[in-house]
């Protein structure tokens, strides 16, 4: 097979790029390791910054998001029995975020690809990248007993943190920066009315908790847990009890509980791989960088990579201009590091660190007091949360 752009990974990054390129007549193929059902079964992001939402619209995939997604102009930070609102719109000249699940937006992208007869190949095995430094790179994968070869101009590594693309860059070229946090998030999805119309990020001595939602009948809650915990350690009842214990009493009293319909633990990690280009391979999204979920930046960082790559590809194929491709890694990394800084800061502000010394705890407390005493600090939080410009 032959195509212009070979995209590895059918998550939001790969599908979004595929859709945008196809709309500009740039031929591409997406290779996904798992089935569509498997990809749609993963419960992940819930908060989209406006830049991501705009990209969905540009990809002709914004209709359901605009109809069913909720615009949020603020959220709460709770601590010590009270909750204080962060006015996103008021501190950013009217900007907001969209609450719309990653599952739904991935479904919309799959549907859009199918409508355009996009080439998305599922259940590919043993994907390998070849001759990335040459003008004729190619990808191979196994389908049953057959080895299939795809020749392309460019390879996009959009295959997430555990994918094969980043690992195809020689070790002496790739520089990896990593910080692993000593806890994870236990998440529960339940068919219950959300406890609050806006998200609540709760700091408590027992650990962090987050009250989020997918719709007015579907709630998503998280609690910080030690890395040694597993899902089996947490019955639904134990989860609800612990969540309530970390929330202000009036919020806990209103919490509607019910059976979990999904329960999973995600470890928290900060990670960046540099450079994001090697020859004719370009990394995008979680394949190149991971943030702890606290600031809701992961998917949104992927969106800026896709935005830069999409425009660079269009400039290359339609205008013969390679500046965007040449500058991709530098440009993408500049924004990636800002998302890293913000996610690290919000994680540090809100979590309980098992190894923290009294000095750290004093600083954490001071950080919180400063935040709510300074319009400048609130503006900084708000402009990062709604998303810095691409
Ligand atoms: P992925 O979604 O990981 O997709 C990569 C795809 O590549 C997968 O489908 C995988 O099956 C496929 N693949 C892997 N290896 C191969 C291979 N060898 N060959 C072919 N295909 C392969 N972000 C936000 O912005 N806001 C939030 O509110 C938010 N909340 C989150 C909450 C949780 C609990 C978690 C875990 C994450 C959250 N994130 C959030 C982060 C967000 O989910 C990720 O950043 C996003 O999924 C990245 O998309 P991606 O397409 O780059 O990677
Ligand atoms: C969700 C996840 C996050 O990481 C976050 O900061 C906000 C919301 C969610 O899954 O709903």
pLDDT digits (tens, 9 = 90+) for 18-73: 999 999 999 999 999 999 999 998 888 899 998 899 999 999 999 999 999 999 99
Tens of pLDDT, residue by residue over 43-57, are 888 999 988 999 999
What pLDDT is stored for residue 293 in this prediction?
96
Tens of pLDDT, residue by residue over 279-319, are 999 999 999 999 999 999 999 899 999 999 999 999 999 99
What pLDDT is stored for residue 50 in this prediction?
86
What pLDDT is stored for residue 21 in this prediction?
98
Note the pTM of the prediction, 2 decimals. Answer: 0.96
CA-39 nearest atom, ligand 1:
9
Query: Comparing C-alpha atoms, which of 68, 52, 65 is closest to residue 16?
Result: 52
Tokens (6 digits) for 83: 């909750």
Residue among 159, 220, 300, 335 whose CB has most ligand 1 atoms within 8 A, to mutate: 159
What pLDDT is stored for residue 262 in this prediction?
95
- Mean local confidence (pLDDT), 72-97: 97
DSSP 314-379: HHHHHH---HHHHHHHHHHHHHHHHHHHHHHHHHHHHSPPTT--HHHHHHHHHHHHHHTT-HHHHH
User: Considering the chain, what is the average pLDDT of its residues?
Assistant: 97
- Mean local confidence (pLDDT), 133-159: 96
Q: How many CA atoms lie within 13 A of 230 on its CB side?
A: 1
Tens of pLDDT, residue by residue over 101-135, are 999 999 999 999 999 999 999 999 999 999 999 99
Q: Which ligand approaches the C-alpha of residue 293 most closely?
A: 2
- How far, in Å, CA of 85 to CA of 46, rounded? 19
- How far, in Å, CA of 175 to CA of 210, rounded? 33
- How far, in Å, CA of 295 to CA of 325, rounded? 29
What pLDDT is stored for residue 43 in this prediction?
84
- Mean local confidence (pLDDT), 84-90: 98
User: Is the CB of residue 294 below 6 angstroms from any atom belonging to ligand 2?
Assistant: yes
Q: Whose alpha carbon is nearest atom 4 of ligand 2?
A: 293
CA-220 nearest atom, ligand 2:
11
Asked if pLDDT for residue 217 goes beyond 90, the answer is yes
Pairing status of strand 74-79 against strand 82-87: antiparallel
What pLDDT is stored for residue 6 in this prediction?
98
Q: Whose alpha carbon is nearest atom 6 of ligand 2?
A: 296
Q: Which ligand approaches the C-alpha of residue 14 most closely?
A: 1
Tens of pLDDT, residue by residue over 218-237, are 999 999 999 999 999 999 99
- Mean local confidence (pLDDT), 353-381: 97
Peptide bond into 182 cis (omega under 30): no
* Cα-to-centroid distance, 47 and ligand 2 (Å): 6
Strand partners, 156: 7, 282
CB 281 within 8 A of CB 129: yes
User: Is the CB of residue 257 below 6 angstroms from any atom belonging to ligand 2?
Assistant: no
In this structure, the residues whose C-beta lies within 6 A of any atom of ligand 1 are: 8-14, 31-34, 39, 44-47, 102, 124, 127, 158-160, 163-164, 185, 187, 266, 285-286, 293, 296-300, 302
User: Is the CB of residue 287 below 6 angstroms from any atom belonging to ligand 2?
Assistant: no
| Rounded percentage of the chain residues whose pLDDT exceeds 90 | 96
What pLDDT is stored for residue 41 in this prediction?
86
What pLDDT is stored for residue 4 in this prediction?
98
What pLDDT is stored for residue 19 in this prediction?
98
């Amino acid at each position: 097979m032959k195509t212009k752009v070979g995209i590895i990974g059918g998550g939001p990054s790969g599908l979004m790029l595929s859709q945008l390129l196809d709309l500009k007549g740039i031929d591409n193929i997406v290779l996904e390791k798992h089935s569509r059902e498997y990809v749609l079964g993963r419960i992940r992001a819930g908060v989209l910054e406006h830049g991501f939402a705009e990209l969905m619209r540009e990809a002709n995939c914004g209709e359901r998001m605009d109809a069913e997604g909720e615009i949020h102009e603020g959220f709460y930070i709770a601590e010590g029995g009270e909750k204080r609102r962060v006015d996103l719109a008021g501190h950013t000249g009217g900007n907001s975020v969209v609450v719309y699940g990653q599952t739904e937006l991935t479904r919309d992208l799959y549907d859009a690809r199918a409508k355009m007869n996009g080439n998305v190949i599922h259940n590919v095995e043993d994907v390998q990248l070849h001759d990335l430094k040459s003008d004729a790179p190619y990808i191979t994968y196994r389908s049953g007993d057959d080895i299939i070869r795809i020749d392309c101009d460019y390879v996009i590594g959009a295959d997430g943190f555990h994918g094969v693309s980043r690992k195809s860059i020689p070790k002496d070229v790739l520089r990896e920066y990593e910080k692993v946090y000593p806890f994870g998030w236990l998440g529960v999805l339940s068919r219950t009315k959300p406890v609050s119309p806006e998200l609540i990020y709760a700091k408590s001595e027992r650990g962090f908790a987050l009250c989020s939602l997918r719709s007015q009948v579907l709630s998503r809650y998280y609690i910080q847990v030690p890395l040694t915990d597993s899902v089996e350690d947490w019955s639904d009842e134990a989860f609800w009890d612990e969540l309530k214990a970390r929330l202000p009493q009036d919020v806990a009293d209103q919490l509607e509980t019910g059976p979990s319909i999904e329960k999973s633990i995600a470890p928290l990690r900060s990670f960046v791989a540099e450079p994001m280009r090697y020859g004719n391979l370009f990394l995008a999204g979680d394949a190149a960088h991971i943030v702890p979920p606290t600031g809701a930046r992961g998917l949104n960082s992927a969106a800026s990579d896709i935005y830069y790559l999409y425009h660079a590809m269009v400039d290359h194929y339609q205008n013969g201009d390679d500046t965007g491709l040449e500058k991709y890694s530098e440009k993408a990394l500049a924004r990636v590091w800002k998302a890293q800084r913000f996610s690290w800061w919000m994680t540090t502000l809100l979590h309980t660190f098992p190894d923290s010394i009294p000095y750290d705890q004093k600083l954490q407390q001071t950080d919180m007091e400063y935040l709510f005493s300074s319009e400048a600090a609130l503006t900084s939080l708000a402009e990062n949360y709604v998303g810095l410009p691409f």
